[in-house]
Amino acid sequence: MSFDPVDRRSFLKLMGVSGSGLFLTLHGCGNASLEDGKETVMSYIDPEDFVIPGEEVWYATTCRQCPAGCGLHARIREGRVRKLEGNPASPINHGRLCSMGQAGLQLHYHPDRLSQPMARLDGKLQPISWGEAKTRLHNMVSAATKKPQSFALLSGEVGGHLEQLVDALVQSIGGPPRYVYETLSQATWRTATQTTLGVTAPTLELSKAQLVLSFGADFLGPWQSPVHFAAEYGQFRAAPRGSLIQIEPKMSLSGANADWWLAIRPQTEAWLALGLANILAADSQHALPEPVMKSLAAYDVDSVSKITDVPVESIQRLAQALRSRTPSLVLAGGAAEGQEDGAQMIMACWLLNYLLGNIGQTIHAGGRSPYENLHTQRGSTAALQSFSKHMTDVDTLFVFHSNPIYSAPDFVELDRGFAGISNKVVFAHTLDETAELADLVIPLRSSLEEWGSQLPGYSPDQGLLQLQQPVVQALHAEQPASGDLFLQLLAQLDEHYKQWPDFYAYMRDDLSRLRQHARPADQLNPWKLPAVMEPPTYKPVMPEQAFSANQLDEAFWEHTLAAGLLHLPTESQPLKINLQAANLKQPDADPAYPFTLIPCPRLGLYDGRHADLPWLQELPDQITTIVWDSWAEMHPETAARLKVKTGDIVEIKSSHGSLRVKVFEFEGIHPEAVAVPMGQGHSSGRYAAGVGVNPLKILAPIFERDSGELALYATRVQIRPTGEQGAVVKLAGSDSQHKRRLVRTVPARLFNNNEG
Partner 1 sequence: MNKKQLQAGSVISGFLFVIAIAGLLLWFFSSHNIQAQADAPVQPIEFPHHVHSAAIEDDGNAINCLYCHSYARRSPVAGIPTLAKCMGCHRYVAADKERIQQLSRYWQQGKPIPWKKVHDLPDFVYFTHERHIQRFVFQQGQPVQQVCGYCHGDIKTMTVAERRRPLTMGWCLKCHEQFQDNPPGAPLPAEDWQINATDSSLTAAMPVDALHADTLRKAPGDCWECHK
- Contact residues toward partner 1 (CB under 8 A) are 2-6, 11, 14-15, 18-19, 22-23, 26-27, 30-47, 52-55
Q: Which is nearer to partner 1, 11 or 751 (CB)?
A: 11
* Selection from 417, 466, 554, 398 nearest residue 159 by Cα: 466
Q: Which is nearer to partner 1, 53 or 535 (CB)?
A: 53
CA 158 to chain centroid, in Å, comes to 13
Q: Give the residues across from 204 on adjacent strands.
A: 363
Q: Are 107 and 432 in contact (CB under 8 A)?
A: no
- Shortest distance (Å) from residue 8 CB to partner 1: 9
Instruction: Report strand pairing: 440-443 vs 423-428.
Output: parallel
Q: Which is nearer to partner 1, 19 or 569 (CB)?
A: 19
Q: Which is nearer to partner 1, 43 or 736 (CB)?
A: 43
Q: Are 488 and 100 in contact (CB under 8 A)?
A: no
Count of C-beta atoms within a 10 Å radius of residue 611: 26
CA–CA distances in Å: residue 49 to residues 52, 255, 556, 641: 8, 51, 21, 71
- Shortest distance (Å) from residue 15 CB to partner 1: 6
Q: Which is nearer to partner 1, 51 or 542 (CB)?
A: 51
Q: How far apart, in whole angstroms, are the C-alpha atoms of residue 527 and residue 521?
A: 10
* DSSP sequence for 653-698: EETTEEEEEEEEE-SSB-TTEEE--SS--BSSSTTTBTSS--GGGG
- Shortest distance (Å) from residue 134 CB to partner 1: 24
- Shortest distance (Å) from residue 559 CB to partner 1: 25
* DSSP sequence for 83-112: EEEE-TT-TTTTT---HHHHTHHHHHT-TT
Q: Which is nearer to partner 1, 36 or 283 (CB)?
A: 36
- 3-class state of residue 204 by DSSP: strand
Amino acid identity, position 602: R
CA–CA distances in Å: residue 171 to residues 148, 159, 620, 636: 9, 16, 44, 55
Q: Which is nearer to partner 1, 52 or 748 (CB)?
A: 52
Amino acid identity, position 186: Q
- Shortest distance (Å) from residue 51 CB to partner 1: 9
Q: Which is nearer to partner 1, 3 or 545 (CB)?
A: 3
Q: What is the 3-state secondary structure (H, E, C) of 478-504?
A: CCCCHHHHHHHHHHHHCHHHHHCCCHH
E strand or H helix that includes residue 25: helix 8-30
Q: Which is nearer to partner 1, 7 or 588 (CB)?
A: 7
530 DSSP 8-state letter: -
Q: How far apart, in whole angstroms, are the C-alpha atoms of residue 176 and residue 150?
A: 9
Count of C-beta atoms within a 10 Å radius of residue 388: 18
705 DSSP 8-state letter: T
Q: Which is nearer to partner 1, 46 or 588 (CB)?
A: 46
Q: Which is nearer to partner 1, 28 or 723 (CB)?
A: 28
Q: How far apart, in whole angstroms, are the C-alpha atoms of residue 61 and residue 561?
A: 8
Q: Which is nearer to partner 1, 36 or 755 (CB)?
A: 36
What per-residue string of b and e applies to 674-691 under the rule 16 or more CB within 10 Å gives b?
bbbbbbbbbebbebbeeb
- Shortest distance (Å) from residue 537 CB to partner 1: 15
Beta-carbon contacts of 249 under 8 Å, excluding residues fewer than 6 positions away, are: 216, 263, 264, 265, 266, 335, 596, 598, 669, 670, 672, 673
Count of C-beta atoms within a 10 Å radius of residue 99: 16
Q: Which is nearer to partner 1, 49 or 372 (CB)?
A: 49
- Shortest distance (Å) from residue 384 CB to partner 1: 46
Q: How far apart, in whole angstroms, are the C-alpha atoms of residue 186 and residue 381?
A: 9
CA 739 to chain centroid, in Å, comes to 39
Instruction: Report strand pairing: 396-400 vs 151-155.
Output: parallel
- Shortest distance (Å) from residue 47 CB to partner 1: 6
Q: Which is nearer to partner 1, 4 or 122 (CB)?
A: 4
Amino acid identity, position 569: P
Q: Which is nearer to partner 1, 23 or 538 (CB)?
A: 23
* DSSP sequence for 107-159: HHT-TT---S-EEEETTEEEE--HHHHHHHHHHHHHHHHHSGGGEEEEES---
- Shortest distance (Å) from residue 54 CB to partner 1: 4
Beta-carbon contacts of 526 under 8 Å, excluding residues fewer than 6 positions away, are: 518, 559, 560, 563, 567
Q: Which is nearer to partner 1, 1 or 239 (CB)?
A: 1
- Shortest distance (Å) from residue 5 CB to partner 1: 7
Sign of the CA dihedral with 277 first, then 281, 286, and 290 last: positive
- 3-class state of residue 347 by DSSP: helix
Q: Which is nearer to partner 1, 31 or 516 (CB)?
A: 31
Q: Which is nearer to partner 1, 57 or 293 (CB)?
A: 57
- Shortest distance (Å) from residue 116 CB to partner 1: 22
Q: Are 178 and 486 in contact (CB under 8 A)?
A: no
Q: How many residues does the chain have?
A: 756
* DSSP sequence for 402-467: --HHHHS-GGG-HHHHHHT-SEEEEEESS--HHHHT-SEEEEPPPGGGS-EEE--SS-S-TTEEEE
